[in-house]
Each structure stands twice: as C-alpha cells, then as structure tokens.
C-alpha cells in the first residue's frame, strides 16, 4: 500500500442504498464532510429524511423472511463475497478514514481498516455454523433472528463500528438499515460499494445517511424496527433507549468509558507506561476503551510521571498523511473545543500539568489538541469522572491494591481497563474485581472474537464473536 499517496479529491455521493440499489434521496439537501486536519470541505452526502427511513425499513422488512430462511452456509458465502469486495478497497478505506476523521494513515490502514476486515472474516466463519439448539426437559430451545435491525454508529472508528453490527446481524439472519455518523459517512459509502459489488440480496442491507436528530431518531422510533443497535455517547444512548422503550424494541448500546490502567507496585513500569500512554492517545484519544486514568502506586509515582512525559512527547500532532505522524487532529472544531474545556477545568480544579496543555505548539490549522498529561488528578474531579474523548491522560496515585480497585470502580462507566503486575495471579485477581466489560492484564492484546461491551453506563449487550451474533437472536422454547 502506498501510504504516502495524496488524499482523494472532493468526494460527492448523491444516493442512498435501498432494496439492493443506489436510490435518489427524497430531498436534495447535502451534508458537507470536512477534513479535520485542514478544515476544508472534502465531500458531500445526502441528508436523509424520515421518509427515506420509511423506504429503507420497508426494504429491510420485505427482505427479512427470505434472508432469515437462507441456510447458514449460504449466508456465509454472501458475507465472504462482501469480505473480498471490501478487502479490494482496503487502501481507499484507509485514505478515506485519514481524510474525514484525521487518523494517521498508517494507523488508519492497520486498525481502522485491518480490524473490521478481521471481524468480517470471523463472521464469515461463524455465520456458517447453525445456531446452537438445546433440550431442557420437555423443551427444545432454539434461536432465531430478531428481525429488522436499525444500526446507528459513531465517527471514531467509522468502518469498524459499522462492521461490528452489520456482519453479526447478517450472520444471525437479520436485515439492517444503517445510519452512519454524519461526520464520517464517506467510509460507509465504500462499504456499500462493496455490498453492491458482492450482490447481497436486495433489501438485506440499506444505507440512509443523515443527522442524528432526523434520521437517527426516525430509525430508533420506527415501529417496524425490531432492534436498535447503537454505538455512541451515553447521552444519545439514553435517548435511543427511551425511543425504543415506547414499543419495547430491543436495544444494544455500546457507550462511553473512563477506563483505568492500574499499574501495581511490582509492575514493569517502563512497559506499563509506554503501552498505557499509547492506549490513551490512540486515535487522538477518540477511542471508547481508552485508558484515560493511569493509576500508579505512590512509591513509583514520580518515576512514572517522567516516563509518561517522555512517552507522550513522541506523539507530535501533524498531518495524517505524513508517514511520521502519530497523532492526528480531533474530528471537529466542536470536539477540540470540548477537549480544551476539560483541560482548562482540570487545571482550575488543581491538577498539575505534566506536558501538553493550552500553550503547547500545534500545527497552524486543523482541529489539533496537544497530547496532554495531568498529574495529581483527584479521583472525584470532573477530569477523572467525565469522558474527554481527546488526547488527555489523568494520572492518579494510590496506596495499595484495594485503593487502586476502589478508584478504578469509582466511575459511572465500566467499559475497559488494564492491570500490570509482575505477579500474574495478583494481576488476575485485581482484574476480576474491576466492574468493566473488558480488562487487559500485562498488555494482553485486543481479541476481536471476545465479547465486547460495558457495565453500568457504558452500555447494554455485547458485540463481536459468538456473543455478538447471539445479541441479534431471539430465544424460543418449544414444549413437546
Ligand atoms: P453521538 O452519540 O453523538 O453519535 C453517535 C451516532 O448517533 C451518530 O450517528 C449520530 O448521528 C447519532 N445520533 C445523535 N443524536 C441522535 C438521536 N437523538 N437519535 C438517534 N441517533 C442520534 O456519539 P459520537 O460523538 O458520534 O461518538 C462518540 C461517543 O461514542 C463517545 O462517547 C464514545 O465513548 C462512544 N463510543 C462508544 C463505543 C463503544 O463501543 N462502547 C465505541 C465508539 C464510540
């Protein structure tokens, strides 16, 4: 892949994807797509309407009985063709993510493109397996697809978040209407180019771009949508749950996080800090699982802060298309402003600036925020409690394992976390005490087949792997 290649020219997409074909939107209102590294408009997509949602849901509803009745092996063959068509677009996808989101191109290729291809490949294999059946007494317990799924996705991993819903939903036998984020819709169009090329049956997947309050609400509230699968902020997730509750539709919610990285007294500090800083700054900190609270035993606190500052210095903000760039811009001016507000407030609350901050040098244009580390952050302060979604790390000291666990669990979120210790059993024991859906021990790698999701206000339900497919199934007991 030629990672240094120039960004694509203005990308204008004029259609929705409905019932197996590109279709005109009901109104001709465009949404501009911005390059956050420059502030320039780089593309346009249609702003869908509730009428477009009606058309898409009708197409998905009509396709549902046929797709649900398709044999698992045949569904897997369809997904395999989609995988081939998407793989052929890998280079374009990486460039488009770098362009509309600002992820450095190398990372856009490896994570933003590589991960969803892995997830889709996994779903091809899992789709071929018929759902498990079980006998309990005189009951035969079977699993069936839930029906029409409305999928609403965020901008921070614009292909992965979509594939993590669409592929398991299709594998389970559901049909889907997708509303991608209005900030990064161009990547979703590349997926639908692949859908069109793969020749998935008409209506099985449908695309309606648009804003959250218009298209998102219409989809979440639609009486013919059986399940809403949402990834995004906790505030929007709450709204979607309310809309779905009116008709008792099923919801799956993947929401925010404020994950803690627990570095115990006996940990390999250099590795724990290096990996921890990389995790917190991944995708400019716009990652729901980011370990944004680094908890360090107080005996090693000063040593850790030195290492943190040195590690963060390697993340110089710059042009996402420059192969040396490790930190891109934030997705929008509003997001950058919000993040700066969090830093200002933390400083006013008494946190100590270790590096970055309001006066650090930045590229002359674009929505950049310098990688910022704040020490002595009080566990109850806003910075330790609120999701920042930017390149900002809070460092907090603790006295012993019990206090570390208490601080980690002192959060309304419960998405992810990490534990580091030279003693693997001790690390595992601490991992078990964390009230989160995922924990990495001593740098254990992301597993795209493991269940992914949150405790508390980080969400409801699980994505990925066999658990992710089961999320799109109903359970029926047949008594004999
Ligand atoms: P967001 O909630 O603003 O938007 C997410 C999606 O919801 C977008 O498509 C948006 O258009 C739509 N939306 C907005 N308002 C809506 C409404 N009233 N009704 C229906 N749909 C609506 O979130 P975002 O800013 O795009 O993404 C950032 C957030 O997502 C962060 O909080 C982050 O933690 C979270 N996130 C969570 C996960 C996870 O898996 N847990 C993954 C990625 C991002």
Nearest to 351 by CA among 372, 328, 371: 372
CB of 165 within 6 A of ligand 1: the answer is no
CB of 188 within 6 A of ligand 1: the answer is no
pLDDT at 300: 98
pLDDT tens sequence for the chain (480 residues): 444 455 556 799 999 999 999 999 999 899 999 999 999 999 999 999 999 999 999 999 999 999 999 999 999 999 999 999 999 999 999 999 999 999 999 999 999 999 999 999 999 999 999 999 999 999 999 999 999 999 999 999 999 999 999 999 999 999 999 999 999 999 999 999 999 999 999 999 999 999 999 999 999 999 999 999 999 999 999 999 999 999 999 999 999 999 999 999 999 999 999 999 999 999 999 999 999 999 999 999 999 999 999 999 999 999 999 999 999 999 999 999 999 999 999 999 999 999 999 999 999 999 999 999 999 999 999 999 999 999 999 999 999 999 999 999 999 999 999 999 999 999 999 999 999 999 999 999 999 999 999 999 999 999 999 999 999 999 999 999
> 100, 217, 254, 471: which is the annotated catalytic residue?
254
pLDDT at 10: 79
Nearest to 357 by CA among 336, 340, 332: 340
254 annotated active-site: yes
Please tell me the residue having the least CA distance from ligand 1 atom 13.
212
CB of 257 within 6 A of ligand 1: the answer is yes
Q: Probe ligand 1: pick from 158, 179, 232, max atoms within 8 Å of CB? A: 232
Tell how far the Cα of 84 is from the centroid of ligand 1, in angstroms: 29
Tell how far the Cα of 74 is from the centroid of ligand 1, in angstroms: 33
Please tell me the residue having the least CA distance from ligand 1 atom 32.
233
pLDDT at 9: 65
Q: Probe ligand 1: pick from 101, 157, 233, 292, max atoms within 8 Å of CB? A: 233
Tokens 């749950």 belong to which residue?
A: 241
Tokens 């919000």 belong to which residue?
A: 338
Tell how far the Cα of 231 is from the centroid of ligand 1, in angstroms: 5
What are the E-state strand segments in 16-155?
Answer: 16-18, 21-23, 30-35, 40-46, 134-136, 139-145, 148-152
Cα separation of 438 and 416, whole Å?
A: 4
pLDDT at 1: 42
């Amino acid at each position: 892949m030629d990672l240094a290649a120039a960004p694509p020219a203005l990308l204008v997409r004029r259609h929705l994807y409905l019932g197996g074909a590109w279709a005109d939107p009901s109104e001709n209102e465009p949404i501009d797509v911005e390059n956050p590294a420059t502030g320039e408009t780089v593309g346009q997509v249609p702003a869908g309407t509730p009428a477009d949602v009606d058309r898409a849901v009708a197409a998905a509803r009509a396709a549902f009985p046929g797709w649900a009745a398709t044999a698992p092996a045949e569904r897997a063959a369809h997904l395999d063709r989609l995988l081939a068509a998407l793989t052929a677009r890998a280079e374009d996808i990486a460039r488009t993510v770098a362009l509309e989101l600002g992820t450095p191109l190398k990372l856009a290729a490896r994570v933003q493109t590589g991960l969803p291809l892995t997830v889709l490949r996994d779903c091809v294999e899992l789709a071929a397996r018929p759902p498990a059946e079980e006998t309990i007494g005189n009951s035969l317990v079977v699993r069936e697809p839930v029906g029409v799924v409305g999928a609403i996705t965020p901008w921070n991993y614009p292909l992965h978040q979509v594939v993590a819903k669409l592929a398991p939903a299709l594998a389970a036998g559901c049909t889907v209407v997708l509303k991608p984020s209005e900030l990064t819709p161009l990547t979703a169009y590349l997926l639908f180019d692949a859908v069109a090329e793969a020749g998935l049956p008409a209506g099985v997947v449908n695309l309606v771009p648009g804003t959250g309050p218009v298209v998102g609400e219409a989809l979440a509230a639609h009486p013919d949508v059986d399940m809403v699968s949402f990834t995004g902020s906790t505030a929007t997730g709450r709204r979607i749950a309310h809309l779905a509750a009116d008709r008792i539709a099923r919801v799956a919610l993947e929401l925010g996080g404020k994950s803690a990285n627990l570095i115990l007294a006996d940990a390999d500090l250099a590795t724990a800090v290096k990996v921890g800083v990389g995790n917190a700054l991944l995708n400019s900190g716009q990652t729901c699982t980011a370990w944004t609270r680094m908890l360090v035993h107080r005996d090693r606190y000063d040593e850790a802060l030195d290492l943190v500052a040195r590690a963060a210095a390697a993340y110089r903000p710059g042009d996402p298309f420059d192969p040396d760039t490790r930190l891109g811009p934030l997705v929008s001016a509003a997001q950058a402003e919000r993040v700066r507000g969090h830093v200002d407030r933390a400083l006013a609350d008494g946190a100590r600036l270790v590096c970055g901050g309001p006066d650090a040098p930045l590229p002359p244009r674009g929505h950049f925020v310098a990688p910022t580390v704040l020490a002595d952050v009080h566990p109850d302060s806003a910075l330790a409690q609120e999701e920042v979604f930017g390149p900002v790390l809070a460092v907090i000291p603790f006295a012993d394992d019990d206090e570390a666990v208490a601080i980690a669990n002192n959060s309304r979120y419960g998405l992810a976390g990490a534990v580091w210790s030279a003693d693997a059993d001790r690390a595992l024991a601490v991992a078990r005490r964390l009230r989160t859906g995922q924990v990495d021990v001593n740098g254990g790698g992301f597993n795209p087949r493991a269940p992914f999701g949150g405790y508390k206000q980080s969400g409801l339900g699980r994505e990925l792997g066999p658990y992710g497919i089961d999320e799109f199934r109903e359970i029926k007991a047949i008594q004999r």
